[in-house]
A and B are shown apart, each in its own frame.
Chain A
Amino acid sequence: MLLNSFVFDRNRLMGLLTMCGVLTVSCTGSVAPQKNEPVATGVAVHVRQVAQTVPSACAGLFIEHPLDFMTSTASGTVKNFESNGSGVAAGDLNGDGLIDLVFANLGQPAVIFWNDGHLNFRKQALDVMDVRAPAIVDVDGDGQPDIVFTQRFGPPFWMRNRGGEFERVNLGNVFEPAYSMAWADLNGDGRLDLVTASYNAELAKEQANNFLFNRIGGVMVYTNLGDAQFSATKISPEAQGLALLVTDLNHDGRPDIWVGNDFDVMDEIWLNTTAGWVKSTMQPATSHSTMSLSVADIDNSGMPAVFESDMKPYDVGVHTMVEWLPLMQTMRKSQPKDDPQVQENVLMQQRGNGTWQNRAPDMGVDATGWTWSAQFGDLDQDGFVDLYTVNGMIDRDFFRHLPNTELVEQNRAFRNLGGSGFALADDWGLASTSSGRGMIMVDLDNDGDLDIVINNLLAPAQVFENRLCSGSSLEVQLQQPGSNHFGVGARLELQTSMGTMTRDVHVGSGHISADAPRVHFGLPKDATINKLVVTWPDGIASSVPSPAPNQIIEVTR
């Protein structure tokens, strides 16, 4: 239902802005600005409001719903890097307004869970297995979201969406093996480009000769040329890339790349400059075995904070120490001078002068267990993003002293204390012990709050339905012309009575998982919304004045 349309003004580049404004008006046609609205240099948008569904009965916590799916291995036991499990992706594959789920799997086929509403799902197996990371993106720009997988021993491929039927196709000129991936419009041409990172430890272990003699792997940037054809650039030959993050780190309007490497290979930051990809000076601190990357504005200051997860026991009790000690003997033997790596989580927050500071210890999130995936999201809708980490490990070398060689750990939910720190929210019912790997936060039932989906290893996948029933929310989904339909890379600022909240549209974060391109803002019930400002991936801004809370809006350019 078309309820309103707005034209707003905020330009960064006058020439581009004027041109795009003209193009947009001509493209959207039906979206005429209201007569009294100031038509200036902004880009025209129209806003479609979708009322949220009524939430289920409040419970003050999350309700677990196991899914008929489990990441398993071919042998039934966990060997080597099978312990890393696989991920989960979210996106509206059929355009019905409900977010569908795609689970990768190792020993069994990957599956789609079609969302039929009210947390009812239809399962469809895909004819692919031994895949790590899924993502839902429109690869060929035909308007239908496709599915992309990275796989254990080969380059990523895509499943072309043909009206709900999926056909496996190679990505043109995408040739390097990849473990993690991220999608973003890196060069501002309107197409989604692909960034991949290999996990060389696994390649060396399982494909020794191929790895040694063919020098495969690394961090790759694949520029989308259209029609699922890409041009490849290797920006780093060495990668233990368990996680990738693409976001604008230096506020120049261009998305940069953060590579989260395992082991002694240091994380890398690649800045997207006019001169090409330039390796940035490393952060003052990074986690040593980076397994997950997630970015958010944790204190509504407008400055990004990147959370890197690592392995560090979340309590110091005798029993926990006993579980971890045999592993701790094997941890790194030396700490080279000027090596910023620490064996714990790191929360690097950017300061006003552009420098970064590790806030993890003083905010209470430096030790969350063997944390595979960590994601930010405003779970309790108080206006500040909370943090959820999924934990556990199965390994017959490190944990042969434990039953089933498994380190059983609780997942940890942390409530944001108004930007000053995080406190364990063990009353939210999220302390699952199912050995989670990939994880996303997404509103599956369109009731306005964030639910959580976890792909567990050797345990059923879980949906945690948010029944905290606190606060209110605004969810925003973007639509724009071109193949980057959902505005991946756009930045949204919600100006409210309690300050300005900033979110990015992204489809890859955490550990080998991909979010839906729908942005969630949580708000206290008494907060009012003044304005939503959308800075599109090309830098042009639009504004939506005073959108009402408790709705999902689609902002179309």
Chain B
Amino acid sequence: MNVTLQKTVPVAGSPVLVLLNPRQFAGPMLWALALGGVVASLGAWRFDLPKWAMTAIVIGFWLPVMAAKWKAELPKLGLVLTLVSVLLTTQSLHTLEHVAQWVQYHLFFWTLRESNGFLSPLNAEWVHFVWNVYVLAAVFALVIGGMRNPFAWLLLGVAFFHTIEHTYMFVRYQMVLLELQQLGVGTGVTAQGLPGILGRDGWLARSTFTQGTFLCSLPGLTTATRLDVHFWWNVLEMVTLAAAAHVHLQRSSIKVHDSFQPNDQNLQSAPKH
């Protein structure tokens, strides 16, 4: 028998948390993370694995569990709400990457070049370009699928311009690589991490079109480092995504709440109204 969530737990207006609750997958997820951590540590110890590889191993253990969760929820939630769940989860992890970079730079005083999070050392340009294309595509699909509210439209705009910025950086990256190859400069030289459109030394700050104008010194937008600019890009994206999802889930609350069985672990232990 289906029981609505409102009859069993205090949702306190936070359907997003309900959606993200791992429920019966919490145990497997913790085990996967622990196992992944052990394997990654062993790899680092025995094979001197770089941190991006360690991160990839942990994700590799965690992802199947999450995939199982999303697969289990798909029939109940439908495609759009499942995609909201996937996007919220993965974008949260991506934001963690940016938080890590921020901590490395601002709290550990690493150089900008070193402050590249966990997964970005694999290739910062590829990682972030692919990621942002994925996010934009996912948001676009959600809007098409019915997640239409002011925050969703804002999210779509943020994701669009964020992707534009990463596309600009990615194209420049490829052009630099090509020219380096033509000059015979090969291994050992990375062209990653160069500024984009916004931020310190970005196109807006250094373009001949903007020289001598207020655009060169817009606080944050043309004065912050790439690391800070993209930290805030992601904070903005995360907040708007959460808000858009919150509004959408509230509108879809009956469907969400009705979707979960009372024998779900968290629901069983939750106090009743």
- List residues of chain A with CB under 8 Å of any chain B CB: 315-316, 318-319, 321-322, 325-326, 329, 332-337, 339, 361-362, 364, 367, 401-402, 417, 421, 423-424
Contacts and interface: CB of A to CB of B under 8 A. Distances in A.
Contacts of B223: 361-362
A423 B211 contact: yes
Chain B CB within 10 Å, residue with most, of A319, A321, A402: A321
A362 B203 CA distance: 16
Contact of A401 (B185, B195, B212): B185
6 closest pairs, A vs B, by CB? A423-B212, A401-B183, A322-B179, A337-B109, A401-B185, A318-B175
A367 B200 CA distance: 11
B172 A361 contact: no
Given A364-B211, A424-B211, A316 B111 contact: no
Contacts of A325: 176, 180, 185, 189-191
Contacts, number: 67
Contacts of B206: 315-316, 367
A321 B176 contact: yes
Given A364-B211, A401-B184, A319 B179 contact: yes
B73 interface: no
A7 to B, nearest CB: 46
A322 B190 CA distance: 10
A326 B189 contact: yes
Interface string B237-267: 0000000000000000000000000000000
A367 B216 CA distance: 13
A423 B212 CA distance: 6
A519 B191 CA distance: 46
A401 B182 CA distance: 10
Given A321-B191, A364-B211, 11 more contacts: A321-B194, A322-B180, A325-B191, A326-B189, A333-B114, A335-B110, A362-B216, A364-B212, A401-B180, A401-B185, A402-B183
B188 interface: yes
A83 B223 CA distance: 33
Contact of B110 (A318, A326, A334, A402): A334
Contact of A364 (B114, B183, B188, B216): B216
Contacts of B194: 316, 321
B97 interface: no
Contact of B176 (A318, A333, A362, A402): A318
B254 to A, nearest CB: 53
Nearest to A362: B217
Nearest to A421: B212
Contacts of A424: 211
A326 B223 CA distance: 25
A322 B179 CA distance: 7
Contacts of A332: 111
Contacts of B183: 322, 401-402
B165 interface: no
Interface in B213-246: 216-217, 223
Nearest to A326: B189
A335 B195 CA distance: 19
7 contacts: A318-B175, A319-B179, A321-B191, A325-B191, A333-B111, A362-B223, A401-B180
Contacts of A421: 212
B189 A329 contact: yes
Contacts of A322: 176, 179-180, 183, 185
A334 B188 CA distance: 18
A210 B200 CA distance: 44
A257 B222 CA distance: 34
A461 to B, nearest CB: 30
Contacts of A339: 109
B190 A329 contact: yes
Interface in B126-152: none
Contact of A417 (B110, B175, B212): B212
Given A335-B109, A367-B206, A417-B212, A316 B184 contact: no
A316 B195 contact: yes
Interface string B193-215: 01100001111001000011000
A316 B183 CA distance: 18
A364 B207 CA distance: 12
Contacts of B110: 334-335
Contacts of B109: 334-337, 339
Nearest to B212: A423
A424 B213 CA distance: 12
B112 to A, nearest CB: 8
Nearest to B200: A361
A367 to B, nearest CB: 7
A402 B175 CA distance: 17
A423 B190 CA distance: 32
B172 to A, nearest CB: 6
Contacts of A334: 109-111, 114
A318 B170 CA distance: 12
Nearest to A318: B175
A60 B190 CA distance: 44
Contacts of B216: 362, 364
B6 to A, nearest CB: 51
Contacts of A367: 201, 206
A322 B114 CA distance: 20
A318 B179 CA distance: 8
Nearest to B175: A318
Contacts of A315: 206
Given A364-B216, A367-B206, A417-B212, A329 B188 contact: yes
Given A326-B185, A336-B109, A423-B212, A316 B217 contact: no
Contacts of A423: 211-212
